[in-house]
Structure 1
């Protein structure tokens, strides 16, 4: 399966999605200010592309354009009967497949993050109680 799918590209795509939609908005006010100066259509696109599938499609196209890497090697060459439509169609299909697994990756990380966060909070509360108890003694 690793010969078929470009896993490093998928990891990069999931990372980009997590960075742009789940982390940068919470790292101070600079990112929100940056979004605020963008033209309204770009602000709307940012808000609408929170969906890991929708954003994943565009991230997949962007990563393909930037790196020249295919997510699924089988789409490198489509049958000849597609003629000149083969290249854009193969990019489109490759980005759709990337989007599906990007969504799976983002949702999986989100699902794993919740119990991890609860465990971290429980540990912090326990440590605070233990610290308060030791100062009381």
Structure 2
């Protein structure tokens, strides 16, 4: 399994749907300048599975690497349909792993954030006491 592609896909999803919209107005202004159909696609693809499929296809096209090498060599009876079918199945697996990765990041993120807040509160109270 090619973990690098999956990590890149999770990072791309996190960047475009979890972080950039909150890093100032410039990104949201840029989105507002897009044609309405592209704005609708951006809103509909918030799901890491939906976006993950297209991110998976893009990452595969950019890197030439498969998530699972087995999809590169499908049985010969698929003929000319084998290559597009392999890309499609690879992107589906990529999307599933992207969604799983996003769920893991969120599951880890909340307890980590609460722990950080508790630590900061503790240190602030300790500083006041001294």
- Tell me which interval the TM-score lies in, with the shorter structure as reference length: over 0.9
Q: Return structure 1 stretches of 4+ with deviation > 6 angstroms.
A: none
TM normalised by structure 2 equals 0.96
Aligned to 1:98: 94
Over aligned residue pairs, what C-alpha RMSD do you find? 0.8
Give the structure with higher Rg (CA). 1
Aligned to 1:77: 73
- Report the count of equivalent residues: 130
1:33-44 equivalence runs, <5 A: 33-44=29-40
Provide structure 1 residue ranges, at least 5 long, that are not aligned to the other structure. Answer: none
* Post-superposition CA distance 1:94-115 (Å, at most 9, x none): 0001111111111001100000
- Return the alpha-carbon distance in structure 1 between the equivalents of residues 36 and 116 of structure 2: 39
- Return the alpha-carbon distance in structure 2 between the equivalents of residues 128 and 25 of structure 1: 31
Provide structure 2 residue ranges, at least 5 long, that are not aligned to the other structure. Answer: none
> Are residues 1:50 and 2:72 paired?
no
